[in-house]
Amino acid sequence: MAAALIGNNHYNKGVGGGGKFASIELLTLDSDFTQEESNSFSSVRKPIWYTGWHTGVLVSATSAVIVLFINIGLTIYAATNPRYMMEGRIGTLYSGSCDKTKTIELWLHLGINALSTLLLSGSNYTQQYLAAPTRSEIDAAHAKRQWMDIGVPSVRNLLRIKRERALLWIIIGFMSIPLHLLYNSGVFTSLAANEFFITVVSNNHFEPRTYRNTTKTQISTFQDMSLNATTGRKYGDVGYQTNSSKIQLFSSMLEGLSPSTQGYEDLTSLECAKVYNTDFVSHHRNLFLIAKHISNPAHPGTILAMHISDLRRSSPSNWICSDDFDPQSTDCCDPSEPTTNLTSGLQWWVKLKTVGEVEIIGCKSEITNEKCKVQFSLDIMIVVICCNLVKACCMVMAVVRSREPTLVTLGDAVDSFLRTPDQTTIGICFADRQFIKREWRHGWKTGPRQWKQKGLHRWWTSVSKKRWIVCNFFCSITIIAAGVLLRFGMISDGELRDTDLKSMGLGKVNGISLVRASFRNITHAILIANLPQTVLSFLYLSYNSLFTCMLAGHEWSLFGHHHRTLRVTSPGPGQRSTYWLQIPYTYAIPLMTISGLLHWLTSQSIFLARVEIWDSFGRETPSPISTVGYSCIAIIFLLTLGILALLTAAGMGYKKFAAEITTVGNCSAAISAACHASGPGSEEITGEKVRWGDVGIASNLGVRHLTFSSEEEVRKPEFGEAYAGKMGEGE
């Protein structure tokens, strides 16, 4: 389907009507080809890859090579980036701002999906050529009362074409599976999330000469984390002195010694609620909430409560709204409630076990540098490059090893069958695909039959039931899977947080929209996240095949509407060249665009979610979170686009053909049956404008005939009139 500029090549006339088909076949499609020896790869006058469909395959192969070099270049650059070391075969492209990380990831995935779509369309184009039959292969199939597909992507042709072309077709198709399964996860973002202490203090905590209670019960977690690596002493022990600047900073804040310490900033209650109302905090860390409370004899200390966040819980920000102000609480609540109340002029109240309910009037928050990363998997990129390399080699071989002309378009088939009529289909000029399956296939004798078609058929009739079933199957799987995932996602998100879908973002990692499953390593999460990409690739191929069949049927019907020249891949005098196989640019470009958008939206709907956790004192923890995340808003867009694509195909299928003509449906035998021209000189009409229809009485039997003719008196078939094929040899 890839766009291909196909050069013109002229025929040499003077081809005789008799002789063996092997010599005629080479002259009919590419006369320059006869100038070379049978084992030569190129023409004497012009290299073979400059003519006909060869240019299209060459462009596809070139695009695959370009994508290969891009993949290799970026992988080498990323793997040898002096700024970041490889860790566990995971490389880092960028580390810093989370917003910039998200922007880089967005553009990288858009580029990846553009390259992926280019590879997929180029592969489909090459595979369609490889499965296209030669005239000798068609004659061999017809001799056994079998037929082949012409002008459309075909799997059934693989059993009847040469083994070399079939093998190349299979390899290109097989390489698409791991490539599209892994490509989108070759690059991923790693979100940096900070654990932090949440300490509620009275409003006189940072005043001098204030009694501060640092009881072991309240700060036991901090004591365990503050262990001095040299002396083994903990915070609160006699002679304790930390060898960590971050621990020292926090302990000084805990003791109220540094109220204006650089590294902490003062925030209002509203600012504080907004900053920490997120599942993964990346730009701030330890938090001191200042309560409107004065120490009293019942509770003389200034430290009212102390907890540490738990990022591995389903809703890490739940502490903001929990009744008992406990990050470990399992109660579901809305973390945005304090922000909403404060915006409305209300107060932020928290309930503490020590002193009861208190009002939060401000906070001190530790500022940290963001450590979000854009990372890549070296193993995944190696697999992608290997698949890309094999694809490119197969495409190049398809160009270089092509020696025999194939019937790629309907025009190629009509040209060949008019020049050298097929003896196995004489006498059935009215044959359509269903007739070929029911009667011709079983060798039943046929005679004149009445034309019973009344009115115009619709485009969907040119597509076989099998193709409709396959396409609808993949469409249904995609829509049902997206719908089920959206349903469960909305239920899960609704249970954990009462918020709008828009705030969740496209492809945004958060603590809510995560699949609650443990994965042993990142590879398992990658395979689950990218499985839909493979299904979408098959959907694109079947969807493309659907449009190819309908457009081929439309092109065929135009021959019954008016005189027109043949559109062939290697045109001779009076014929048209083609810049595409069967789908014109007006359809090919939108189809590629839709495919790219669907793949990109899928990568934003279900994706690898990797979160690197840094503890309260800026130390990276050894076990990052690797799971699968999802985005309900992206799934809604994906579902909408998928349904629109399905409705578009149905709407196209409902269109009517241009004229009353047999529905050949790309069946080689039906096309052959329609190409038994009356009278001598049938070869010459291939270079003129022709029309298919009623050409009058055939032979002396008083039976009318339907075929191609360049004469002006060609009429459309008459309802109830009896028609038969050309009578003569073979009858």
Q: What is the pLDDT of residues 639-656, one digit of tens each?
A: 888 888 888 888 888 888
What's at 158, amino acid-wise?
A: L
Which residue ranges of the chain lie beneath pLDDT 50?
1-50, 496, 498, 700, 727-731
Radius of gyration of the chain (CA): 36
Element (H, E) at 613: strand 606-614
Tell me the residue range of the domain where 339 lies.
Answer: 192-212+261-372
Q: In what order do the strands lie in the sheet with 372-377?
A: 90-96, 372-377, 187-194, 606-614, 625-630
691-697: long-range pairs with CB below 8 Å, 24+: 691/559, 691/560, 691/561, 691/562, 691/563, 691/564, 692/559, 692/560, 692/661, 693/560, 693/661, 693/717, 694/718, 694/721, 694/723
Asked if the structure places residue 307 within a domain, the reply is: yes
Q: Is 282 in contact with 370 (CB distance < 8 Å)?
A: yes
Q: Is 621 in contact with 615 (CB distance < 8 Å)?
A: yes
What's at 450, amino acid-wise?
A: Q
Overall pTM > 0.85: no
Asked if the structure places residue 579 within a domain, the reply is: no
Give the pLDDT of residue 167.
Answer: 92
Distance of alpha carbon 292 from alpha carbon 312, whole angstroms: 31
Asked if the structure places residue 265 within a domain, the reply is: yes
Asked if the structure places residue 664 within a domain, the reply is: no
Give the pLDDT of residue 138.
Answer: 92
- CA 318 → CA 346, 511, 671, distances in Å? 20, 11, 69
Q: Is 511 in contact with 279 (CB distance < 8 Å)?
A: yes
What's at 566, amino acid-wise?
A: L
Q: How many domains does the chain have?
A: 1
Distance of CA 671 to the CA centre of its chain: 35
User: Which DSSP symbol is given to 203?
Assistant: T
DSSP-based three-state secondary structure for 269: helix
Count of CB atoms situated within 10 Å of the CB of 378? 16
Residue found by looking up tokens 């039943």 in the block: 444
Give the list of residues 6+ apart from residue 256 with CB closer than 8 angstroms, or none.
Answer: 201, 205, 206, 207, 210, 212, 302
Residue 648, both tokens: 């578009």
Give the pLDDT of residue 694.
Answer: 85
Asked if the structure places residue 249 within a domain, the reply is: no
Asked if the structure places residue 700 within a domain, the reply is: no
Asked if the structure places residue 515 within a domain, the reply is: no
Asked if the structure places residue 22 within a domain, the reply is: no
How does strand 187-194 pair with strand 372-377? Answer: antiparallel
CB-side neighbour CA atoms (13 Å) of 6: 22
